[in-house]
Chain A
Amino acid sequence: MDVLDLARSQFAVTGSLHFLFVVLTLGLAPLVAIMQTWHAVSGKPVWERMTRFWGQIYVINYALGVFTGLVMEFQFGLSWSGLSHYAGEVFGPPLATETLVAFFLESTFLGLWIFGWHRLPKWAHLACIWMVTLTAYASAYWIMVANAFLQNPAGAVARDGHLALTDVGALLTNPALVFALPHVAGAAMLTGGFVVVGASAYHLLRRHPEQGFFATSMRLGIVWAGIGVFVTSGFGFAQFAALSDYQPDKFDGGAPAVSLGFMILIGELFMLAMMFFLLPVVYWLPRWRWTHPILMLMTPLPFVASILGWLAREVGRQPWMINGKLTVADALTPGLTPAMITGSFAAFTLLLGALAIVDYALIVKTVRRGPAGAFLGARDDGAPDPSPAPALSH
């Protein structure tokens, strides 16, 4: 592999790892916020325990989203300085806004939420998780603005050898953005919903004493994932019309077409399962233990589909970094040596790969420990837990 191949592989590996964690973050955040809202409104302790149990899956997953995201942000300058030289004035502002507003707020409010249990007033604490959710989606919007510009450089013209921003409105309402963003959001709902379904199926199958807790979680997860699969499929197919204008040959090659094909296959499988089985029988599903191993086996599939979707979107644009304007070869940092890119590729891949494995092992461990062992929001000053385990009722 030459320097260009290595730099592209580094971006593909760190980008795919990043999205594996981000897609779950985006899918779980609103679900956790809804659970906490339900608790604030109804006062029922089970909803607080659900918030804490699923919330800790959310935060453990969040850690790797940050680690991989750091590498993503700095990688643009390390490997692809040609991009900022040529198009930084158009591509830079969305990324800057994402970090300076959306992620800045998300990180600050997440700290307030995690460490604010028992300290912030109830409604203020609830506002924190909603701010985390809102800013996570704002982040997704700005990142997708930047990505959509690479797909279809709207709102910019070439001037003196670089791109200048001429139409902010066109940049922010790019046809490569307006369908792709809900497509990604729907995929996240499907992924997050099914993680809740799969983990609940595991405990229901093993006859966990808290049947009610996991039955409610499973139903909520199915409905959430069900909405997600309709949104992601609808907006996914809706992209093809606009795509035929700005990238008509996108899926003519092998890898993009195969990725797209398998992604659609997974999507339609979930669509059919939802329409004709899971949603109509959602009330009884927690009791039908024979379905639970199948639900658990389905849980990783939305992650696979998410990565396939990104491969189709990114590989299908080659050899362009900015479609029709700048090739990946021209975007490569001048003077990047094989030693540099090999060294950093090895360092990032080994470190992030190892941490990703540890993180997933911790998520599995946390799921298996069940709600009684929830550490998120647990008091450590000896005061009694405000919500002891409820009676073992259905």
Chain B
Amino acid sequence: MDILWYAVLALLLAGYFALEGFDIGAGMLLPVLGGGAGASGRPGRDRIVAAMAPFVLANEVWLIAAAGVLFGAFPALEGEVLSGLYWAVVALLVSWIVRDAGLWFRRRAGGAAWRAFWDGALCLGSWGLAVTWGFALAGIAGGLAGPPLGVLGGLLYAAAVAAVLAHHGRTFASWRGALPGRPPRTGRALAGSALLAALPALVPLLAAAPGVLGHAADPGTLGTLALTVGPFAPLVVAAQVWVWRTFGSTRATSSTSFF
């Protein structure tokens, strides 16, 4: 049962990087792919945001669920991981909120300055997410007790995470047909960049597995959790599939662009 819940945790975190990874990457490259951070780049930036918008709410929730599994199935570890990575987690939350605020608020008022400000928040928050994830994952790979990989190791890991997420975001934007004048990338290319984006999360998770499994909750608790979650798993999967069937089949913008 503990192995099953660790697999769920790994799946959720890998899924987060594979899915939310392209939102983060597209946000990082927003001024580049959109054609500038100023007023002239506004239509281009709108196109990039419209490409990712219908997926964001369904993607970012994978991390919220992963944190929930950590709490429910590995309670002894939850406090250790989050408080051990204290500043990385605080920076991650701040970045996440800044990125989300950019998305939710950018179209809520008129004016070029308003849009440019929140697009800046969206871009900056996305970079913050990539970099803090780099440090957090380096910390997990190093075993939480201090940073054996050092600041340099953290920086290198952050650079790697930022690179794969940016690549994933660019591939996604191209696949959605949001980069005019260039032939769209194929679904196969997108799957490849998703796999690449999940890799920096999967490696530390596999490395940490032997230590984590000893910290699982007792079988009774894990069984209870399986009973409260299991019956709804098909519905959760179906809802995610429905998102992709609804918004994944057509290219570029949807017919209503809220973000």
Contacts and interface: CB of A to CB of B under 8 A. Distances in A.
Q: Do A and B bind each other?
A: yes
Interface in A95-150: 95-101, 103-105, 107-112, 114-120, 131
A299 B101 CA distance: 26
B257 A380 contact: yes
B224 A120 contact: no
- Residue with the greatest number of chain A CB neighbours at <10 A, chosen from B61, B100, B253: B61
A149 to B, nearest CB: 13
Interface of B is mostly: helix
A92 B101 contact: no
B83 A89 contact: no
A340 B255 CA distance: 46
Given A93-B225, A96-B68, A165-B220, A67 B101 contact: yes
Interface stretch (B24-32, B88-96, B191-199, B206-214): B88-96
Contacts of A114: 57, 256, 258
Contacts of B38: none
A74 interface: yes
Given A108-B57, A112-B242, A92 B75 contact: yes
Contacts of B225: 93, 96-97
B71 A351 contact: no
A60 interface: yes
B258 A375 contact: yes
Interface string A333-359: 101100010011001100110010010
B1 interface: no
Interface in B218-246: 218, 220-221, 224-225, 228-229, 232, 235-236, 239-240, 242-243, 246
A108 B82 contact: no
A324 interface: no
Contact of A362 (B97, B108, B221): B108
Highest count of chain B CB atoms <10 Å: which of A70, A90, A164:
A70
Contacts of A108: 57-58, 61, 236, 239-240, 242-243
Contacts of A343: 87, 90
A377 interface: yes
A383 B255 CA distance: 9
A82 B256 CA distance: 46
Interface in B63-80: 64-65, 67-73, 75-76, 78-80
A261 interface: no
Given A67-B100, A107-B61, A380-B256, A96 B90 contact: no
Given A74-B93, A104-B236, A119-B246, A377 B83 contact: no
Interface string B7-47: 00000000000000000000000000000000000000000
A67 B108 CA distance: 17
Contacts of B220: 164-165
Contact of A88 (B78, B96, B108, B246): B78
B243 A111 contact: yes
Contact of A93 (B53, B104, B221, B240): B221
A376 interface: yes
B81 interface: yes
Contact of A112 (B104, B218, B224, B246): B246
Contacts of B119: none
A49 to B, nearest CB: 15
A112 B240 CA distance: 10
B68 A98 contact: yes
A362 B108 CA distance: 7
Contact of B246 (A66, A73, A110, A116): A116
Contacts of B100: 63, 66-67
Contacts of B247: 115, 119
A179 interface: no
A84 B69 contact: no
Nearest to B216: A89
A88 B76 contact: yes
B229 A101 contact: yes
A118 B79 contact: no
B64 A92 contact: no
Contacts of A365: 108-109
Interface string A47-67: 000000000000110010011
Contacts of A85: 75-76, 79
Contact of A63 (B54, B104, B224): B104
A77 interface: yes
A81 B84 CA distance: 10
B123 interface: no
B67 A99 contact: yes
Contacts of A165: 220-221, 224
A235 interface: no
A214 interface: no
A278 B22 CA distance: 51
15 contacts: A63-B101, A70-B93, A77-B82, A88-B78, A89-B75, A89-B217, A93-B221, A95-B72, A99-B65, A105-B235, A111-B54, A112-B58, A112-B246, A131-B239, A358-B105
Given A77-B71, A92-B78, A114-B256, 18 more contacts: A59-B258, A77-B81, A77-B82, A77-B83, A84-B71, A89-B75, A89-B218, A91-B75, A92-B73, A98-B68, A101-B229, A107-B64, A110-B57, A115-B53, A348-B90, A365-B108, A379-B255, A381-B253
Interface of B: 53-58, 60-61, 64-65, 67-73, 75-76, 78-83, 86-87, 89-90, 93-94, 96-98, 100-101, 104-105, 107-109, 217-218, 220-221, 224-225, 228-229, 232, 235-236, 239-240, 242-243, 246-247, 253-258
User: What are the 7 closest A-B residue pairs judged by CB atoms, nearest first?
Assistant: A88-B75, A81-B79, A96-B72, A77-B82, A99-B68, A111-B57, A115-B54
